[in-house]
Amino acid sequence: MKRVFIANFGRENYEWPNCLRRSTVATMNSIETHDYWLAGDREAFIAACMEHERSSRGAVPIKAVASRWFNLMSTIAETSGDIWIHREKNELWWTESLPEPPSFELSEEPTGRGPKPVYVCHKPCKPWSKVSLKGHRLDWNSLHPKARDFLSTEATLQQLSAGYAEYALALVQGEDLTPWHESSLWKEKLAKGKASSVESFSNLQVSAFRMARTAWDTTQNANGQEELRRVKNKDFGFASEEELKLYIEDLFRMQDGLCMLTGIRMQLDRDYDDEELLCSLDRIDSNGHYAPGNLQIVCRFANRWKSDSDNADFMRLINLVRSTAGL
Tell whether 233 and 104 lie within a shared domain.
no
> What pLDDT sits at residue 323?
73
Q: How far apart are CA 82 and CA 101, in angstroms?
A: 14
Q: How sure is the predictor about 82, in pLDDT bands with cuts at 50, 70 and 90?
A: very high
Higher pLDDT, 278 or 53: 278
3-state SS track over 157-195: EEECCHHHHHHHHHHHHCCCCHHHHCCHHHHHHHHHHHH
> What pLDDT sits at residue 195?
52
| Mean pLDDT, residues 205-232 | 73
pLDDT in tens, 248-300: 999 998 888 889 998 888 989 887 888 999 999 999 998 889 998 899 999 99
**0.75 surpassed by pTM:** yes
Asked if residue 196 is part of any domain, the answer here is no
Look up residue 258 and give its DSSP letter: B
Asked if residue 198 is part of any domain, the answer here is no
User: Which domain range does residue 95 map to?
Assistant: 4-185
Tell whether 175 and 220 lie within a shared domain.
no
Asked if residue 168 is part of any domain, the answer here is yes
Domain count, the chain: 2
Position 194, amino acid? K
- Where is mean pLDDT largest: 153-162, 230-239, 315-324? 153-162
Tell whether 261 and 135 lie within a shared domain.
no
What mean pLDDT, rounded, does the chain reach? 88
Helix 241-254 vs helix 203-222: crossing angle, to nearest 10: 130
Tell whether 62 and 166 lie within a shared domain.
yes
| Mean pLDDT, residues 62-71 | 86
> What pLDDT sits at residue 20?
98
Asked if residue 61 is part of any domain, the answer here is yes
> Is pLDDT of 231 > 50?
no
pLDDT in tens, 114-166: 688 999 999 999 999 999 999 999 999 999 988 998 898 888 888 998 999 99
> Is pLDDT of 110 > 80?
yes
